[in-house]
């Protein structure tokens, strides 16, 4: 029989905290990046926000005055290998190699497949899939070199599991992210580097709010079993689980946060 004091002692450590962790959020200034940054800052992490435009990142930093000493700006184009390497050099020199990486940078093109150009395809695949590869491998290489453990969190999508019209490159990229998560988790488990994915459903942001107010948008919402859009805060708990030490025996997993959308009928 388990000693009650031992059980109490263990349970007292069950907190979604990220104290003493250095977290990198790519694509921090757009979409869900700000919410991820807020979650990590509020739970104790030092957060590096990255993106291509420094002025946008500096504006983001200014929105967290209470955490000014724990938020840092590093510019990086995730689709460019030299840019990723240089950004990690800056991080290593100024803050440290991040042991939590949120690979969030992404773009989308809304076109019918026959209307997509090579540039459309390359833009989406390079940012959403190649970008995850470059950032994850650079982080893991440095963590392994320092014999440090870490958690890499790929931001996927339910479109990596099911198909939809007019988003072919995006859906293909996210399906690739799902498989990338699994193969990297397999290879890097020996280093104590965990790789998991977070797959949101439709989350309300400034970019899609107007669309979901239209008749077609409302029809999409009615297909979600919970009959509502997700909010950025709905992703905070799952993100923190993967970032914190509570998930130390999880790797190669995907947490789907979609209001039951994947379970809806075709």
How confident is the model over 30-76, as pLDDT tens digits? 879 999 999 999 999 999 999 999 999 999 999 999 999 999 999 99
Helix axes 33-42, 236-243, angle to 10 degrees: 60
**Of 207 and 240, more confident:** 240
Q: What is the pLDDT of residue 12?
A: 55
From the list 170, 191, 202, 249, the catalytic residue is 170
- The per-residue pLDDT of the chain, averaged, comes to 94
Say which range, 12-21, 91-100, 139-148, 220-229, has the weakest mean pLDDT: 12-21
Compute the distance between CA of residue 234 and CA of residue 237 in angstroms, rounded to an integer: 7
- Enter the tokens of residue 129: 């899939």
Compute the distance between CA of residue 249 and CA of residue 8 in angstroms, rounded to an integer: 21
Q: What is the pLDDT of residue 201?
A: 96
Compute the distance between CA of residue 49 and CA of residue 173 in angstroms, rounded to an integer: 23
Average pLDDT over residues 14-18: 85
Tens-digit pLDDT profile for residues 19-41: 999 999 999 998 799 999 999 99
Tens-digit pLDDT profile for residues 181-217: 999 999 999 999 999 999 999 999 887 898 899 999 9
Q: What is the pLDDT of residue 208?
A: 87
Does the pLDDT of residue 173 top 50, yes or no?
A: yes
Does the pLDDT of residue 180 top 80, yes or no?
A: yes
Q: Which residues pair with 23 in a beta bridge?
A: 47, 100
Compute the distance between CA of residue 105 and CA of residue 87 in angstroms, rounded to an integer: 15
Q: What is the pLDDT of residue 7?
A: 44
Residues in the chain: 266
Q: C-alpha angle with apex 156: 214 to 228, nearest 5 degrees?
A: 35
Say which range, 41-50, 140-149, 201-210, 231-240, has the weakest mean pLDDT: 201-210
Compute the distance between CA of residue 159 and CA of residue 152 in angstroms, rounded to an integer: 20
Residue 15's pLDDT band (boundaries 50, 70, 90)? Answer: confident
pTM confidence score: 0.94
- The beta strands (E) that lie in 67-206 are given as 71-75, 100-103, 150-155, 193-200
Q: What is the pLDDT of residue 31?
A: 77
Does the pLDDT of residue 117 top 80, yes or no?
A: yes
Q: What is the pLDDT of residue 82?
A: 98
* Residue 170 is among the residues annotated as catalytic for this protein: yes
Does the pLDDT of residue 1 top 90, yes or no?
A: no
- Enter the tokens of residue 136: 């994850």
Residue linked to tokens 């991080």: 91
Sign of CA dihedral 26, 27, 32, 38: positive
Residue linked to tokens 């104290």: 19
Residue in 153, 212, 155, 163 with CA at minimum distance from that of residue 184: 153
**Of 264 and 131, more confident:** 131
CB 92 within 8 A of CB 138: no
């Amino acid at each position: 029989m388990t000693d009650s004091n031992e059980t109490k002692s263990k349970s007292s450590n069950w907190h979604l905290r990220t104290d003493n962790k250095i977290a990198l959020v790519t694509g921090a200034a757009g979409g869900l990046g700000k919410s991820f940054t807020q979650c990590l800052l509020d739970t104790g992490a030092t957060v590096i926000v990255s993106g291509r435009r420094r002025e946008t990142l500096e504006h983001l930093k200014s929105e967290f005055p209470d955490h000014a000493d724990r938020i840092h700006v590093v510019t990086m184009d995730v689709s460019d290998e030299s840019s990723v390497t240089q950004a990690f050099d800056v991080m290593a020199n100024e803050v440290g190699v991040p042991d939590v990486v949120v690979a969030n940078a992404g773009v989308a093109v809304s076109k019918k497949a026959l209307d997509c150009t090579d540039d459309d395809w390359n833009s989406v695949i390079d940012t959403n899939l190649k970008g995850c590869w470059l950032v994850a491998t650079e982080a893991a290489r440095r963590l392994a070199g320092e014999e440090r453990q870490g958690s890499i969190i790929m931001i996927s999508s339910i479109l990596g599991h099911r198909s939809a019209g007019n988003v072919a490159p995006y859906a293909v990229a996210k399906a690739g992210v799902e498989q990338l998560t699994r193969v990297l988790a397999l290879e890097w488990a020996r280093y104590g580097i965990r790789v998991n994915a977070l797959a949101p459903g439709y989350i309300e942001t400034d970019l899609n709010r107007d669309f979901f107010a239209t008749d077609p948008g409302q029809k999409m919402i009615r297909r979600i079993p919970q009959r509502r859009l997700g909010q950025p805060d709905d992703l905070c708990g799952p993100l923190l689980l993967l970032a914190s030490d509570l998930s130390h025996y999880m790797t190669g997993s995907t947490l789907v946060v979609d209001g039951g959308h994947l379970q809806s009928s075709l």
